[in-house]
Amino acid sequence: MKKHYAKFLTTPPQGAVFRAKTPEAVITAYKSGKVMFQGAAPDKASQKWVTEAVTSYKSVNHKRQPSAHGFAPDPTLFAKNHIGTDEAGTGDYFGPITVAGVYLNKQQIQQLQDIGVTDSKTLTDAKIRQLASTIMKLQIPYSLLILHNEKYNQLQKKGWSQGKMKAMLHQHVIGNLVKKIGNVSLEGIVIDQFCEPAIYQRHIRSENLSLISNTYFLTKAESYSTPVAAGSIIARASFLKEMDSLSEQVGIELPKGASKKVDQTIAKIINANGESILHKLAKTHFANTKKARNYL
């Protein structure tokens, strides 16, 4: 991209690989891989790269298919009526796991793209909250499940891996959505892949569930599928809301992630409320629980 815009390059902002100003748009590419198109006609400027990305994905997917898991979707599905699911909170010590799924038809896919629905990892928390609210107001079919910490910790002690918990949540979200949309056209289901499809199937089979036909798995699916991106936004917004509620309950702002700051916050909570409260707030099997003892 930088070579393509060589004639239009300007001084990039901090953290950017390049910035270019063309008659159509201002294009800023960041080290994270995110590219922003702003200005007079950003959609027109970005369309070339969207088309190229899908073509590239199709080419790469075709080459690796013989050794892949066989559940990769055809890129043409991304423009058709389909369901997408994604989750949030899995790597965070505090807070629940949230999983959301969204069904979009062709017209709704374009509608959500137009309002800025994209990979939630490239959006601020404020933008995620705003987009989630907008999606819900549009009465787009979605399903959201929250695995609260007490239940999470109970399942973990029963021997459930986090992978099994996520698989069951995704599968129930899909089942809920399929019932909700009824007999409308459904070309496929895309799950943002967090484990190999064979392992996913093993998890849900152990609880007497099975894959619905035309279910596909794809890593970083939110970069390709608008329903997955929308599901990611709803799941993340729900996680943020739950974190707000838990922070209010304990009287301390709970940090996201699993950093040293999290360890220090755990110690403060234990000193003020005792360790048992962590079962309501956190995924207690994370190593942070033990690390926090260094700050007591």
CA distances from 94 to 40, 238, 284 (A): 42, 14, 9
> Mind listing the pLDDT tens digit for each residue in 38-58?
877 777 777 777 655 555 555
Can you say how many angstroms the Cα of residue 53 is from the centroid of all Cα atoms in its chain? 20
pLDDT band at 64 (very low <50, low <70, confident <90, very high): very low
pLDDT band at 33 (very low <50, low <70, confident <90, very high): confident
pLDDT top residue among 22 and 206: 206
- Contacts of residue 138, defined as CB under 8 A and 6 or more positions apart, other chains included, come to 108, 111
pLDDT of residue 66: 37
Which strand (E) or helix (H) includes residue 144?
Answer: strand 142-147
Cβ atoms of 81 and 189 within 8 Å: the answer is: no
Task: Read off the pTM.
Answer: 0.78
| d(C-alpha 12, C-alpha 132), whole Å | 31
> Mind listing the pLDDT tens digit for each residue in 99-143?
999 999 999 999 999 999 998 888 999 999 999 999 999 989 999
> Mind listing the pLDDT tens digit for each residue in 146-169?
999 999 999 999 999 999 999 999
pLDDT of residue 23: 84
Task: Please determine, for residue 231, whether its predicted confidence score (pLDDT) is greater than 70.
Answer: yes
Q: What's the mean pLDDT when you consider all of the chain?
A: 90
